[in-house]
């Protein structure tokens, strides 16, 4: 969703003037190295869980608790049914409109 800049500001060596339209990627806030240590590393034990993947405030995703429950179930079942897994090819990433893998080939070894 575009936003309109209300005052001149310099950001990353670029000047954004008052009145300019800007687009930003909400997900990029989750990759801010000033806030997150190793932001591009998937770390299930990360202490700070204040990411913006589900939005914030009154615009927070109503399905967030269900999505978290589904991911916990999928992760638990995947770990119970496999002895190991590894990335089996190149990962293709999307950067707009959201930061997400487009392709993530995995090699799975069944649990015995």
pLDDT tens-place string over residues 74-104: 999 999 999 999 999 999 988 777 778 899 9
For residue 82, being part of any structural domain is answered with yes
For residue 73, being part of any structural domain is answered with yes
85 preceded by cis ω (within 30°)? no
Report pLDDT for 110.
94
Report pLDDT for 36.
87
Over residues 15-21, the mean pLDDT reads 96
* Span 23-64, pLDDT tens digits: 877 778 888 899 888 988 888 788 877 788 888 889 889 999
Report pLDDT for 84.
93
For residue 6, being part of any structural domain is answered with no
Report pLDDT for 69.
93
Q: Provide the domain limits for residue 99.
A: 20-110
For residue 56, being part of any structural domain is answered with yes
Q: What are phi and psi of 87, to 5 degrees?
A: -70, 125
Confidence check: pLDDT of 9 > 90: yes
Q: Which of 30, 32, 31, 12 is nearest to 22 (CA)?
A: 12
Q: How many domains does the chain have?
A: 1
């Amino acid at each position: 969703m575009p936003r309109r800049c209300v005052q001149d500001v310099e950001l990353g060596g670029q000047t954004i003037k008052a009145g300019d339209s800007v687009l930003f990627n909400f997900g990029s806030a989750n990759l801010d190295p000033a806030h997150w240590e190793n932001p591009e590393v998937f770390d299930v034990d990360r202490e700070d869980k204040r990411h913006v993947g589900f939005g914030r405030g009154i615009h927070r995703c109503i399905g967030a608790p269900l999505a978290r429950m589904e991911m916990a179930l999928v992760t638990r079942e995947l770990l119970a049914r496999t002895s190991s897994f590894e990335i089996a090819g190149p990962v293709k990433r999307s950067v707009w409109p959201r930061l997400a893998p487009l392709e993530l080939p995995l090699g799975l070894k069944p649990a015995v």
